[in-house]
Structure 1
Amino acid sequence: MVIELAEPLSPAALREFRALMVGLSSHFDEKRPGFFDVNVPAERLGVEDRREEDWRKPFPLPLLGSTSADEELTALVGFNPQREDWRRPFLVYLMGPGVGDESIFEAEHADEPEVEAVLGFRPTHAVNVSAGCNGEIDHVATALLTAAVMDVIGGVAKAELLDGQVSVVAGLPGVLGIADDDWMVLGTAEFLRAWVGHPAFRLVK
């Protein structure tokens, strides 16, 4: 999930952003100013994780040859989405001119006139919130973590939609607009929290 920003973060906002991530994290590693490799327990976001401690998703059969399913899936997506990661790892990082990951920012923001029309501005920077886990609780945690960051630094959330989800999100509070032929929604932190509370909530992963 991405938070679009209309201007660079001030030094004060960057300090508040860092303080938030330190406070929420059970593990905190700052790769560079504004780039945080963290583990965020769901409980610190106000979510109760009710699963049993020994719960595990089933593993698929090996995909190719002698390579294990673990290795194959990890090679494809960077982590194994079939195994639950109780650490709840996230990469949360500021990107854009002068701060880092400029090429990623440029690639993700190339030719988005419809998005810019909804936003009312051309993003100068963005914050990417990327989860290294893919359970239902992790989708909830990702949205709530994004909302918590927005409470501190502002910005507009941009999230991809699954087929048919536009009818779910369109009427929620805080929605600013739908773009990309109904495959993308833009909204406020209020929208993210309202979406999490909807029975049909699910992020694209």
Structure 2
Amino acid sequence: MNSFLDKNTFEQNDEYAAKLIANTKDETMYNRILDEVQHCKSFTFAVAFIESGILNSLKTVLKDLNVQGRILTSTYLYFNKPQMFRELLKLPNVEIRVYEQNHGKFHAKGYLFQHEGYQSALVGSSNFTAGALKVNKEWNLLFTSHNNGKLTEDIASEIEEQWKGASKLSPEWIDEYEKKYKIQNKPAIKVVSQSVDEDNSNYSI
């Protein structure tokens, strides 16, 4: 615990101990994230892939809370659907930015929560999808730090750097993204080669 916390204050306090969250029957990333959101002052998610369905739970939790949030996501591999981006705009008190592919391959999966006097973070393999947060065998490290803790400070600094270079999410941005998304996800035309005579002449359809 000395690696993450002020040893004079938190050394013997198990509540702040680092732990692995691996989607077991006792604890999932989904439950842990929603619990952190309900008890934090603000939060920042930096996550490459998001699914629309899982946003409904976050929206419900945020509706009755005075919590400010930020979500940094991406256009990497055109995984994120246009409708998902539209759902993101409906989250109350949450600012959204998108790290676009022309800036690099954004593949982060980190969740940072600001509490009174300390920060907690979840960093690992889970995107913000139902499978990754509830059932997949994911590895995510939960750790807590004083506000001047080096590790959470480094994470926050990395997020800030990428946040500044990201695009603000807007209906107009989504409309443009949808055009690119449809091109990238266009069904491939299957090419079938058929030998038609002994001279090995081939025709493709």
Q: What TM-score, normalized to structure 1?
A: 0.25
Please say which structure displays the higher CA radius of gyration.
2
Q: What TM-score, normalized to structure 2?
A: 0.25
